[in-house]
Amino acid sequence: MAASDDYADFLERLTDGHQRRLADVLQTLENNIASFINTAPDRAGKLFDLEWSIQARQEIRRQIDSSFLGEAQSIIDGYMDVANEQFEMLSQYGTFTRVAPETIQALQQLSFQGFQAIADQQLDTLATGIYQSTLTGRSKDELIKELRGQINGVYQQSDDEQARQLVEIAQTATGKRQKDAIDKLHSIYARDRLGNNMRRYATQMANDSLAQYSASLTRSTANEAGITNFQYYGDVIADSREFCINNVGKVFTEEEIQRKWEGSWAGKAPGDPFIVRGGYNCRHHWLPIVEPEEPEVEEEEPRERKAFPKADTGLPKQWNDLANSDGGIRPEAVTMINAYDKPEIVSSRGKQGAFYQSNLKKITTYKRNKSVMLHEYGHHIDFTATGSISQTISESFFPDAAKSDAKKLGVFQLFDEKTSPYMKMKARDAAVVNRVKQLKEELLEQVDYIPKTGKYKGMVRGTTTQPRFPGADLISDIIDSMSQGAMYDEARGFGHGGAYYMGRNAIQMQQTENFANLFSLWAQDNEGWEKAQELFPELTEEFLSIVGEFG
């Protein structure tokens, strides 16, 4: 399971625990206030003493402060654990700075204000009810029943055994049994239908307070790191808003988020979209997306294999020199490059990344990374060989071989194709994920991340993942395609992830990446190509049958 999913589960469990704690303390508050009302002066069971009813407000305030607000403060005091858990989660995705303690304290104080507002509103409601009941001479029993409902709604205490049993079912059961119990409490016992009671607002605040506190930490951390892209993530459940269902799993820029949150939907809450997210009671979150820095080619120890002779690929000098660097590329690859029309090749700028556009026959790649340039050139050949901008040769020849190798490697999982990519990712086989993680350890390693530029130049700023041998990153991506994103999503290796490999045209996406990776490995004829033949015997054999005519 991805670190972000672990963190979301942590928040879910914490929220459920906070809601149970508040529900318990409100039962105590309900009973204490009922006991207090029983001490009121009465005439034949009816209230009459207005002076007592006015002074009762002080006792109600004391009861609310000592029980409800005391528990709320205890809950919020534990929010520091949330800050620690969130920092550990974010550290799995990049290098971040902890939120300052004074900021955390300010956010905790802000969270308490939400509970304070509920306490103040309920104090007014309860105190006004006591005064009006005394003014009209209502009985104590009628007032107590009303106050119990104001505090706990359908979950209020009762002397009626059947009502008590229904309350127990409503609190502990799920599904139809719970719904039937609540319906009976509404219809037979005239319990609060609208849900305008302290318990409803308190349990909602338990969720919103924690979620918004977490969201504020995320926003502060992302701002400090200069991050502007965010993924909307979290579980989709039966009562998830359509808005959340449509956007979960997607990545947005800050500007896109602001524009999207200008719309309207049921349950939308006012405020900053990074904080309120989908609205009241929303359990979705924002994950800052760390853009990878341009890979840098490090000097490697001399290989034992003999370097290929310098060749003319027919490419512009910059890219021909790159292809001939570091031992060059095999002659068959040169022949293959020269067999097709040349694409336009441009240098990637900033955080643009590397990619191929088949409709434009254009490669955008890193100017110093030979492996990536050959990978993108593999895409060009894969599309150009068919004479189509929408079809590849790999999607026709690779699927069966890739599936067979994936099964032998233990990374294949069959999904219902009608299932959404998001639900597929949630349903990954634990055995497949564990196998992928084992393979990641064979291919990749964690090393200290030391920036070479900027104010942290030369300082250890966390860890980063790098290949154990040349081409291991390309092999990692092949496993990612075979496992439909498990290498990237679960093992945090190199790849494209489930959203890419399970989306539209999934077969083409998987196989064209396999072809591009194999072309780069084969052209360089390095240790990675030998490893690929070992791990993917049928896929590499199919690849060699395609390129064999150029040998």
Task: Note whether 69 and 77 are within 8 A (CB).
Answer: no
- pLDDT of 376-431, one tens digit each? 999 999 999 888 888 899 999 999 999 999 999 888 887 666 667 667 777 788 88
Full-model pTM: 0.50
- pLDDT of 98-128, one tens digit each? 888 888 899 899 999 999 999 999 999 999 9
Task: Note whether 489 and 435 are within 8 A (CB).
Answer: no
Please, where are the H alpha helices in 485-536? Answer: 486-489, 498-501, 506-524, 527-535
Q: How far apart are CA 32 and CA 74, in angstroms?
A: 20
Choose from 176-180, 226-230, 431-435, 536-540 the range with maximum mean pLDDT. 536-540
DSSP for 232-246, written as a single string:
EE----TT--HHHHH
Question: What residues have CB less than 8 Å from 451, skipping those under 6 apart?
Answer: 457, 458, 459, 461
Domain ranges of the chain: 3-156+191-225, 227-291, 307-551
Print burial letters for 339-363: b (CB count within 10 Å at least 16), e (below 16). Answer: eeebbebeebeeeeebebbbeebeb
- pLDDT of 293-313, one tens digit each? 555 555 555 445 567 778 888
